[in-house]
């Protein structure tokens, strides 16, 4: 099993450009998450999904959009990139019975994004 895969590994964007960060998991997990990690800060939840067709906002959703058309894929869309979106982005997945029971999250290798 590949686990959680993310592409690209690294990307430089100009201010105002758009891009999609790809995330795929092959563990048949129902929950998927997008986090950003900034230096000296804890992981911040951007969006999460409890299953195909269902997504919800996390702590820092502004400037991002997501979709979940299949169990495996959970892309993150950045529209009109800003320097404040320079960060490392992690996708994660877990199998949970409900959001009240947080099971172990499995993380991808991350995408490093630089907005200039």
H helix runs in the chain, sequence order: none
CB of 64 to other proteins, least distance (A): 17
Nearer to other proteins, 14 or 101 (CB): 101
21: nearest Cα among 3, 6, 39: 6
Our CB check for other proteins shows the closer of 85 and 105 to be 105
Q: How far is the CB of 107 from other proteins (least distance, A)?
A: 3
Minimal distance in Å, beta carbon 108 to other proteins? 5
**101 sits near other proteins (criterion: CB under 8 A):** yes
Residues 6 or more apart from 112 whose CB is under 8 A from it?
A: 9, 10, 11, 88, 89
- Does residue number 106 form part of the binding site for other proteins (CB under 8 A)? yes
Q: Does 59 bind other proteins (CB under 8 A)?
A: yes
Q: Are 36 and 89 within 8 A, CB to CB? A: yes
Chain residues binding other proteins by CB under 8 A are: 4, 40-45, 56, 58-59, 90, 92, 99-102, 104-110
């Amino acid at each position: 099993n590949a686990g959680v895969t993310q592409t690209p590994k690294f990307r430089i964007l100009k201010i105002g450009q758009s891009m999609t960060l790809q995330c795929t998991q092959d563990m048949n997990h129902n929950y998927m998450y997008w986090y950003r990690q900034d230096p000296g800060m804890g992981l911040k939840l951007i969006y999460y999904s409890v299953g195909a067709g269902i997504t919800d906002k996390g702590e820092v959703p502004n400037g991002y959009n997501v979709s979940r058309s299949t169990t495996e894929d959970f892309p993150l869309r950045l529209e009109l990139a800003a320097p404040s979106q320079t960060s490392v982005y992690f996708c994660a997945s877990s199998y949970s019975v409900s959001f009240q029971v947080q099971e172990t999250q499995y993380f991808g290798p991350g995408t490093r994004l630089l907005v200039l």
